[in-house]
Copies of this chain bind each other. A is one copy, B any other.
Amino acid sequence: MVKRTSFENDPCPVARALEVIGDWWSLLIVREAFFGVRRFNEFQGKLGLAKNILASRLRTLVEHGILRPVPAADGSAYHEYLLTPKGQGIFPILVALRQWSEQFDPRPEEIATVLVDRNNGRPVRTLELHAEDGRLLSPADTTLQPRSTAKSKKAGTRSSATSN
């Protein structure tokens, strides 16, 4: 790789997100955390990844404020990894990934689980993008605007490099 290119200074929010959670394991670790997995060995057992990789990922997830090590839990001297609010904010991303697979996977019959409303056991709705006034928006109904730095509001039409 000669240094995997870093996106942390990229002005694109998508790139910035990928910089943090865009690797092969981080999102799966977070997914497990959503299901109550908290301990090192538990993550390792569920995901089957190497311990050094897990240790490394947990470290960076903690550094990025996605997981938080809490001192104890059941009384033992070890610690557990809990989702922070920032970590919980990843939920829509997981849902979007899941729904994309559900819709387009070439072998959907191999998908084992469905995300349901705990209340009545019925599948959740597909995520939709809405306008401020509630209208449903398709990709084509949207554009990127340069971030309004306190002023300016219209602009549209993207310009240079990796600027979206």
Contact = CB atoms under 8 A, between A and B. Distances in A.
Chain A interface size, as a band, is 35 or more
A130 B124 contact: yes
B86 A92 contact: no
A47 B31 CA distance: 29
A89 B110 contact: no
A147 interface: yes
A143 B114 CA distance: 8
A137 B113 contact: no
Copies of this chain held together in the complex: 2
Contacts of A132: 117, 120, 122-125
Nearest to A111: B13
A13 B101 contact: yes
Contacts of A60: none
Interface of A: 4-5, 9, 11-18, 22-24, 27-28, 31-32, 34-35, 45-49, 65, 85-86, 88-106, 110-125, 127-132, 134-135, 137, 139-148, 153-154, 156, 158, 161-164
5 contacts: A14-B27, A45-B161, A113-B145, A115-B142, A121-B156
